[in-house]
Amino acid sequence: MQSAFLFILMSLALSSSPLLAGPAPVAEKRPHPLSVHGVGWSDDYFWLRERENPAVKAHLKAENAYLAAELAPLKPLRETLVAEMKSRIIEEDISVPYRRGLWLYYSREVAGKDHPLICRKPWHGDKSGELLEAAAPGTEVVLLDLNERAGGNEAYTFGGGAVSPDTRLYAWKENSDGTDRFTIRFKILETDELLPDEVTGAVFDAAPVWAADNETIFYTEADETDRSWRVRRHRLGAPETENDVVYEEPDARFQVGIEATKSREFLLISSASKDTAETLILPLRDGAAEPQVFVPRSDGRRYSLADCDGHWYILTNEDAVNGRLFRTPLDRTARESWEEVIPGDEKIAYEGIDSFATHVILSARQDAVPGFFILDPDTGTRKWISAPGQGGSMSSEPTPEYGSTTQRFSYETLLQPYTVAEVDLASGETRVLKQKALPPGYDPDKYRIERTFATADDGTRLPIWLLLPRDHPRDGSGGLLLDGYGAYGIASDPWFDSDVFSLLDRGVGFAIAQVRGGGEYGRLWYEAGKMENKMTTFTDFITCAEHLIAEKYTSTPQLCGSGASAGGLLAGAVLNRRPDLFGAYIANVPFVDVLNTMLDATLPLTTSEYDEWGNPEAVREVFDRIRGYSPYDNVKAQAYPAILVLAGWNDNRVSYWEPAKWVARMRAVGTGTAPLYLSTAFETGHGGASGRYSGLEEVALQYAFVLKALGRINPPAR
């Protein structure tokens, strides 16, 4: 019966006639025996991994057709949502130019175009007002029109670019299938001529780095599992087969990255796992040089480098969980030559290092507030710079001139758009360079920001940021979309998203749960939610949901959870434990088949993720732990809320079959009647559609699902 029904669904999905709403697709059960550590089990949907099997794609198309039919009545709402979100886009915009040499570089948005133009214009000194003025007629140089490169491809991704030291040539990485495999291409900027050189197999980790000879670039290459494991050197005019290996990392736990120091004197090759790091140095003035290890790796030690005033500055976790700073002369890198500059402080989490000719920049977090320190090496004094405003995010902006006297940074809040500012390195004085224009029709007075804290069983306070309609009730009747991530030490800081106002205007607030496993409070916060402590991430999120309900910000029928990628793992684990807490849930490219993925070392990212989740094949304890929370393996005979699951056919970070298998198992085992939908994008990968317009359809789908599930199909409030 199942096979016959599946065949009918496949036929309908492949036909050109519209599909009427009907029973949900049922994936055929094909038991696949598995055994590890003497433990045997059967995976009924293992066959969905067979990418070349026509039945797999047919099943996914049947799922898409089922979703389309079920949500067909929401088409007018989705069209309205797209129109609303599109109306808030700033059609014409320009980034704040940054100087490198005698040019100012910037990106420019064009009305009606998905992607920006990457441009430059001549620099005429620090003339007042020149920075944001339009380029004089005939002086703007378009390095790359990403719309032309994309050619309408929704998956097109620009992977970063670099101008040669003499500013004549441009090298960039691009991809058109949604994976992390990129091709490097080159052009002569003066003539706009594309060079015949093409470098394939580059991985999305960093832009190419030029040597000082203007003829040599360095790039990272992926292995068969998409792990960045090699650094190669390409010389213009040479065939790709002659690109020699500069460095190769044999340890499958480690990923390789490259960057040039701001002085442009050195190429830094980093090889890092989640817990250990090592750096090699290569002088860029000698494109044929071989890299030298700065200090050999030691298990558990992480460090990063920047050069300033004849010294290396070393930020390391050695005997300081949140970091400490050392320095040593450029020609003496041995550990015994280091002298401490800043001791460790458990209240300050240092995250990264950069430098200018006269100052060192240390990105950091204090009490979950992001910012950076400006260190004057001559005096040893530090200035702390953080973003103004309540509930925001902050990051450094390109400031490539080694002799610059200012550092660029950007910040945004839930209510304040992206703003670029700069701080004087000597005085610490800050000035705003540009705030992105407010979206048309946007009125911040219609909304409010709140911060509340849930309390975990061990007494830990868990921050929750909320963006709410100004009149959001505190009687449990208000709708709420609660987002969570909690992995890799990545902080879930609030950000400005004009799309979300389409939910707020319909009575659905937005909240961010800052749970352990993220990086909001530094390394200890991260380690409290990884490996053997991973369950804490899930219980933290449940605690946050319970708190919001108890404080009457919302109620179970009005609460929708959301999570993407590793946040999708959070979604699946939480849904298995407390499906009763939510009225709906969105899981976007969710990492839900954790046990099977971590048992397969041939898959992308698996080996490099051992330090995050553990290696279940090597250690029985790890196997039992992952098997205990893996969402796919723990689907139960219970009622789940309405769920929308999104997948990407070309996703090489979370393979399409993970969400597909998860949905199939929930359909077979779940006992409830709430809708369960799977949407697979066949053109894109992990990040979905890349354009600023083309991505709106997917957002509208998610928002329409939320509004339908929470019973809020109403026109926006006026």
Catalytic residues: 565, 651, 686
d(CA 649, CA 669): 25
Residues 425-463 as b or e (16 or more Cβ within 10 Å = b): beeeeeeebbebeebeeeeeeebbbbebebebeeebebb
Structure tokens belonging to residue 657: 């079959």
Of the candidates 397, 487, 468, the residue with the CA atom closest to the CA atom of residue 433: 397
Question: What are the phi and psi torsion angles at 378 (to 5°)?
Answer: -70, -40
Strands 181-188 and 193-203: what pairing?
antiparallel
Contact yes or no for 575/483 (Cβ under 8 A): no
Question: How far lies 445's CA from each of 436, 441, 468, 539, in Å?
Answer: 18, 12, 11, 35
d(CA 357, CA 219): 26
d(CA 93, CA 218): 32
**No. of H helices and E strands in the chain?**
13, 39
d(CA 515, CA 509): 19
Contact yes or no for 83/715 (Cβ under 8 A): no
d(CA 703, CA 712): 11
Query: How many CB atoms are closer than 10 A to CB 17?
Result: 6
Q: Dihedral through CA 181, CA 185, CA 189, CA 193, nearest 10?
A: -140
